[in-house]
Structure 1
Amino acid sequence: MFLMKKAFIFLLAILTTFAVTGCGGNEAPGGAEGTAPNQPEQGAGGSILISGSTALQPLVEQAADVYMSSHAGSTIQVQGGGSGTGLSQVAEGTVQIGNSDIFAEEKEGIDASQLVDHKVAVVGIAAAVNPNVVVDNLTSQQLIDIFTGKITNWKDVGGDDVKVTLVNRPKSSGTRATFIQFGLKGQEEAEGVTQDSSGTVRKIINETPGAIGYLAFSYIDGKTVKGISLDGEAPTAENVTNNKYPIWAYEHMYTKGEPTGLTKDFIDFMMTEEIQQGTVSQLGYIPVTSMKVQRDAAGNVK
């Protein structure tokens, strides 16, 4: 009887050991802590709103899509409205980032001391014409005369007998401010068709015989609209980097104070090699690191 009881206790101990071993060590395939493999990077998370420059909008939208695809829980909304809108809204705190083609110091009514400038690219801006316009080059004075209304027919600059139709931008547009400052030497445009969006400007130029406006290089494809050389210098990225082609501006992403969280994470992402050497160039912008000259808020180049 004693031997049977001892054998029973021994057998029970063995079964208990197997049960404990079977329940333990249930490790997930991803590693010792049971983390699933290949999960999206978490990043800062949250949601931010960006508004402003329509010239910068395509770049920021694509970068935001790339960022969100690899950062779970992050939402980045990108809107246009023009540089003035972006600067005003970021100053008011209604958006986290205000995109602008101009320095905040250049915008009336903006306290630039409260904003932090993040230069993420350079944009070249060219006079853009309907593809049927046969003129490929203008002198600086001819460009000024066309946009100030002194020249109203393309035959006066070597083209066909076709009326010039001006397509302008509103005063809130940073593209407009840059074009007036460096293309028109500060002279105001004559009255024309005014459109807020770069995409709409391109559409109108394409559909209107004799039309001329101005667009960032990223909107000029040579088919729907054609870029015009200035004083023999073509509107190319290379000519912008050394200031041979003078109509260009930094693309700014302004924040109210130093950025934190998702805002900082996304601006840092804009400066990565993936975006600067990839997306920026692919979309027709110029990486800030490629510039051989610098320009300050007063327009001085060094």
Structure 2
Amino acid sequence: MRKKMKLLLTAVLVVMSLGVLAACNSESEANNSEKANEKETSGSLTISGSSAMQPLIAAAAEEFMSQHPEANIQVNAGGSGTGLSEVSEGAVDIGNSDVFAEEKEGIPADELVDHKVAVVGMAPVVHPDTGVTDITKEDLIKVFTGEIKNWSELGGADQKIILVNRPDSSGTRATFVEFGLDGAVPAEGVTEDSSNTVKKIVAETPGAIGYLAFSYLSDDTVAALSVNGVKANDKNVQSGEYPIWAYQHSYTKGEPKGLAKEFLDFLASDTIQEGLLTDQGYIAATKMEVKRDAEGNQSKK
């Protein structure tokens, strides 16, 4: 009997020891996993490019960093051409663009990986006192090529038209020229590097007209024009009825790794796609009823 009790006690001690070892291993694995996660969410990330994307990416970066204090993400604008050039050269980790890399001359598109973050509409915008709310595409082209020089020619105020453009490197300009002006080259006017500056100049200059992403139309300091009677809004972009829109691309040189991959995964998450993205004036690519290829051809999904 005593022998059986000793055997039973020994068995109990063995089981308890195994349990303690298992708990220690589990705790060790959890600690290792936590350390690995900390490693993935630390470090620095540099992003540049599209000013149309900057409000979204900057806001997403702030939210990401609030969740991961060890991560540092710097978001710069400079235009789509700058973003594509810098990411292809390895100067930044992510290059944002309103246009496909294949559309930019001198960019090694085959070396870049496209991450379509969102869709944004773009609208011609005017000073609120212009007196014009709708414009045909034909007249829009005439305005930007300098054929129409005064708003009174379109039933508006007797004001000289002042053109406010983005530089050639701008993806917003490329999108507006291709889908708003049917490829017509804008006449010379004021040229500004950022959408924020375009908005400020148009808002403060009677007779001014420029073009902005919907994400910059959160107040009434500038007025967006309807084109051919179609309002510049998300619904009309999604249906394909409103033509001036672009994908918002985040490009990486090769497949993303580490912090770059984690941030891009965050941009694709419901937190951004169903929340921040919409709040910032963008459209989730998944909600589009039409699609567009690198040649600019639009078709139903």
Q: Deviations over 1:204-226 (max 9, x none)?
A: 00110010000000111341111
Deviation at 1:242, TM superposition (A): 1.1
Q: Is the Cα contact below 8 Å between 1:51 and 1:95 reproduced in 2?
A: yes
**Alignment of 1:221 onto 2:218:** yes
1:109 aligned residue (98, 106, 110): 106
Instruction: For residue 46 of structure 1, report the CA deviation from its aligned partner.
Output: 1.1
CA offsets 1:44-90 (integer angstroms, 9 cap, x no match): 32111000001100100000010011113111110010000000000
Equivalent-residue separation in structure 1 for 2:151 and 2:58 (angstroms): 37
Query: What runs of 5+ residues in structure 2 fail to find an aligned partner?
Result: 1-25
What's the CA shift for 1:194?
A: 0.3
More helix by share: 2
Dislocated runs of 4+, deviation >4 Å: 31-35
User: Which residue of structure 2 lines up, in the alignment, with residue 276 of structure 1?
Assistant: 273
**CA root-mean-square deviation:** 1.8
Which whole-Å deviations, capped at 9, do the CAs of 1:173-197 have from their partners, x for residues lacking one? 0000000000000010000000010
Q: Which of these residues, 167, 171, 174, is aligned with residue 177 of structure 1?
A: 174
| Aligned 8 A contact 1:217 1:284 in 2 | yes
Tell me the amino acid that sits aligned with residue 153 of structure 1.
Answer: N
Change in Cα spacing, 1:32 to 1:97, as seen in structure 2 (3 Å) is: closer
Give the Cα–Cα distance (whole angstroms) in 2 for the partners of residues 133 and 58 of structure 1. Answer: 27
Separation in 2 of the partners of 1:298 and 1:242? 19
Q: What pairs with 1:194-273 in structure 2 (closer than 5 Å)?
A: 194-273=191-270
Amino acid in structure 2 at the alignment position of 1:199: N
SS, match of residue 298 in structure 2 = coil
Residue 72 of structure 1: which of 43, 58, 69 is its match? Answer: 69
Query: 1-side partners of 2:255 and 2:88: how far apart?
Result: 13
> Whose radius of gyration is greater, 1 or 2?
1
1:167 partner SS:
strand
SS at match of 2:250: strand
C-alpha contact 2:50 2:97 (8 A) present in aligned 1: yes
Offset, 1:155: 0.6
- 1:286 is paired with a residue whose SS is coil
Shift of 1:289: 1.1
Does residue 147 of the first structure (1) align with residue 144 of the second (2)? yes
Quote the offset at 1:32 in angstroms. 7.1
Tell me the number of residue pairs that the alignment of Structure 1 and Structure 2 aligns.
270
Report sequence identity in percent: 57
More divergent stretch after superposition (217-226 vs 253-262): 217-226
What whole-Å deviation, never above 9, does each CA across 1:94-148 have from its counterpart, x for those lacking one? 0000000000000011010000000000010000011111110000101000000
